[in-house]
């Protein structure tokens, strides 16, 4: 007999208490295996795919895409067999499905790989094909009408096998509430990319199995049909008589809170200087002109500036600190965890290069490249977005020369870098066209005075103008 287990939104770590459902990866009636990602959520720090610790058939989902859920709220329910087992696990014994009591705390324990879970992994045995068919049949059977007055979570935890997800219409046919006859993940992905409901397709494969050809045929038919449905407005923007309103939540909301707190708590000041970056650009070109095996990836300007910052912080450690407001103490930090601002479709994020003081330029560049790619794809982990001690902000990529950056609370300083462009410059007593960049340093005036901040900025500018100075600190 099938038993329904409830999977709740797990603790995502890093002090996060809620998450927004971005995209469901499974439908009601889908068969899921242990540790299969079932939903993509957005926290205040990163996008996370949440794997389910149970294996079986999805009977209900709680929350539409765009809904914010607190940690501990129900995500979905899964009907498992009498042993609470998932397909795909081998049985070293006779091949029969040994009976184990299925409890709500059973599962893989790997709710979020890389974030840690409290429960140890649980051994599971394989469900034989005939057992899986019976489980599908149990879920596909007509269910009693749900009591909508008691909420979605109470119905799911009562043990009734429900094929209706939260927010969905309760009037669904047996075909709509049953399992989807799809085996290939590629077929599912193709259907999801084209917003195709697999439950409305008749499979041409054995026993009604939906094949890729069936999905492609349905996509072609949809493309040829005239579009008559009205456009649905974006739920993230709420019309208002005063104008369009966009909720501050997720990454954008977290950034807004941090910037507001920085302005409230930190008495910041900014100093800036123009620097001749011609020699720095020439040094970078020389580094990247070395070819052959083992040459490594190209060195970026950002990697060079990051290495310069690490060297400057070794000379001026006051700027690699934070302020304990309650204790009224300045805490000088022993390691340089260098953050860099990265603009993504989800907003501004600041990935962190750990222990930048112990890395060379090539190592810093490789880590920046890895973190940047993760930021663009939305796969940064919360731990990769926290713990920074100093931030480098290259706003020159937006085609601007200068800025007064807001400090990334609770850090003590941020270096801003404008675009590097040809400008008239007095070089060795003669007017010449040189590659010029504006550098700006915003710092917490509680941790140091203008002399220290000016010394830091001047050292950075000197390294930009004469990269050989870096050899002293490598």
Active-site residue list = 445
The residue among 57, 185, 46, 37 whose CA lies nearest residue 112 is 37
The residue among 271, 1, 343 whose CA lies nearest residue 139 is 1
Find out whether the peptide bond into 410 is cis, omega within 30 degrees of 0. Answer: yes
Sequence-ordered list of residues with C-beta below 8 angstroms from that of 22, at least 6 positions apart, any chain: 40, 41, 42, 47, 65, 66
User: What kind and span of H or E run contains 6?
Assistant: strand 3-8
Place of tokens 């934070």: 322
Task: Tell me the CA distances in angstroms from 388 to 4, 70, 335, 442, 445, one per residue in order.
Answer: 43, 26, 10, 16, 19
How far is residue 170's CA from residue 158's CA, in Å, rounded to a whole number?
Answer: 18
Q: What is the DSSP string of 167-229?
A: TS-S---HHHHS------HHHHHHHHHTT--GGGPPP-SGGGPPPHHHHHHHHHHHHHSPP-S
Beta bridge partners of 268: 444
- Give the single-character DSSP code of 405: P
Q: Strand pairing of 352-353 and 56-61?
A: unpaired
Task: Please list, residue by residue across 352-372, b when 16 or more beta carbons sit within 10 angstroms of its beta carbon and e when fewer do.
Answer: bbeebbebebebbbbbbeebb
Q: Strand pairing of 390-394 and 338-340?
A: parallel
- Within 10 A of 201 (CB to CB), how many other CB atoms are there? 20
Token digits for 245? 């309103």
Task: Please list, residue by residue across 210-231, b when 16 or more beta carbons sit within 10 angstroms of its beta carbon and e when fewer do.
Answer: bbeebbeebbeeeeeeeeeeee
């Amino acid at each position: 007999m099938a038993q329904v287990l409830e999977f709740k939104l797990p603790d995502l770590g890093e002090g996060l208490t809620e998450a927004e459902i971005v995209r469901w990866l499974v439908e009601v009636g889908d068969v899921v295996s242990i540790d299969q990602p079932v939903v993509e959520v957005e926290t205040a720090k990163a996008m996370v795919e949440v794997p389910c610790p149970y294996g079986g058939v999805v009977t209900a989902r709680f929350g539409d895409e765009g809904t914010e859920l607190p940690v501990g709220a129900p995500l979905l329910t899964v009907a498992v067999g009498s042993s609470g087992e998932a397909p795909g696990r081998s049985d070293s014994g006779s091949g029969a499905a040994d009976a184990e009591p299925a409890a709500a705390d059973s599962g893989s324990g790997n709710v979020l790989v890389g974030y840690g879970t409290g429960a140890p992994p649980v051994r599971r045995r394989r469900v034989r094909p005939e057992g899986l068919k019976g489980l599908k049949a149990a879920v596909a059977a007509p269910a009693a009408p749900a009591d909508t007055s008691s909420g979605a979570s109470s119905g799911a935890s009562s043990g009734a096998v429900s094929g209706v997800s939260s927010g969905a219409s309760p009037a669904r046919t047996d075909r709509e509430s049953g399992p989807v006859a799809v085996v290939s993940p590629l077929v599912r992905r193709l259907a999801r990319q084209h917003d195709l409901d697999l439950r409305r397709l008749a499979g041409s494969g054995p026993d009604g199995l939906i094949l890729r050809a069936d999905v492609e045929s349905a996509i072609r038919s949809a493309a040829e049909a005239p579009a008559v449905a009205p456009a649905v407005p974006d739920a993230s923007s709420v019309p208002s008589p005063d104008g369009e309103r966009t909720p501050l939540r997720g990454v954008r909301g977290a950034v807004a809170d941090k910037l507001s707190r920085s302005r409230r708590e930190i008495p910041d000041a900014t100093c800036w200087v123009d620097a001749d970056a011609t020699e720095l650009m020439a040094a970078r070109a020389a580094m990247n002109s070395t070819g052959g095996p083992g040459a490594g990836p190209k060195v970026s300007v950002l990697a060079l500036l990051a290495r310069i910052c690490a060297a400057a912080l070794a000379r001026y450690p006051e700027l690699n600190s934070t302020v304990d407001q309650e204790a009224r103490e300045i805490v000088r930090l022993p390691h340089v965890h260098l953050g860099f601002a990265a603009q993504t479709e989800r907003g501004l994020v600041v990935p962190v290069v750990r222990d930048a003081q112990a890395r060379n330029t090539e190592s810093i560049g490789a880590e920046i490249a890895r973190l940047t790619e993760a930021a663009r794809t939305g796969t940064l982990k919360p731990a990769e977005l926290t713990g920074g001690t100093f931030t480098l902000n290259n706003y020159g990529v937006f085609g601007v020369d200068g800025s007064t950056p807001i400090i990334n609370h609770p850090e003590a300083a941020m270096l801003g870098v404008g675009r590097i462009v040809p400008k008239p410059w007095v070089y060795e007593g003669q007017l010449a066209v040189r590659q010029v960049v504006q550098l700006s340093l915003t710092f917490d005036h509680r941790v140091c005075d203008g002399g220290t901040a000016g010394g830091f900025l001047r050292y950075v500018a000197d390294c930009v103008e004469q990269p050989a100075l870096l050899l002293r600190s490598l």
